[in-house]
Structure 1
Amino acid sequence: MEERKLILVETVCTHYQLQFSFIEQLEEVGLISLVRENEVVFISEEKVSDLEKVLRLHEELNVNLEGIDIILNLLNKVGSLQSELDEAKKKLQWYSGEL
Structure 2
Amino acid sequence: MTTEIYIPIKTLCSHYKVETSFFQGLNEYGLIEITSVEQSPCVHKNNIKGLEAMIRLHHDLDINFEGIDTVLNLLEKINDLQEELVATKNRLRIFEE
- TM-score normalised to the size of structure 1? 0.87
- Specify the alignment match of 2:40 in structure 1: 40
Q: Which runs of 5+ in 1 are unaligned?
A: none
Greater mean alpha carbon deviation, residues 58-67 or residues 35-44: 35-44
User: Aligned partner of 2:62: which letter?
Assistant: N
How many Å apart are 1:32 and its aligned residue? 1.4
Query: Once superposed, what is the RMSD of the aligned Cα atoms?
Result: 1.6
- CA distances 1:59-78 after superposition (whole Å, capped 9, x unpaired): 11111111111010000011
> d(CA) in 2 for partners of 1:81 and 1:93?
18
- Specify the alignment match of 1:88 in structure 2: 88
| 3-state secondary structure, aligned to 2:56 | helix
Number of aligned positions between the proteins? 95
Identity rate, percent:
36
How many Å apart are 1:4 and its aligned residue? 7.0
User: Aligned partner of 2:45: which letter?
Assistant: E
- Specify the alignment match of 1:28 in structure 2: 28
How many Å apart are 1:46 and its aligned residue? 1.4
Judging by fraction of residues, say which structure has more helix.
2
- CA distances 1:37-85 after superposition (whole Å, capped 9, x unpaired): 3422111111111111001111111111111110100000110011011
- When residues 49 and 90 of structure 1 are mapped into structure 2, their CA distance, relative to the original with a 3 A threshold, is same
User: Aligned partner of 2:79: which letter?
Assistant: G
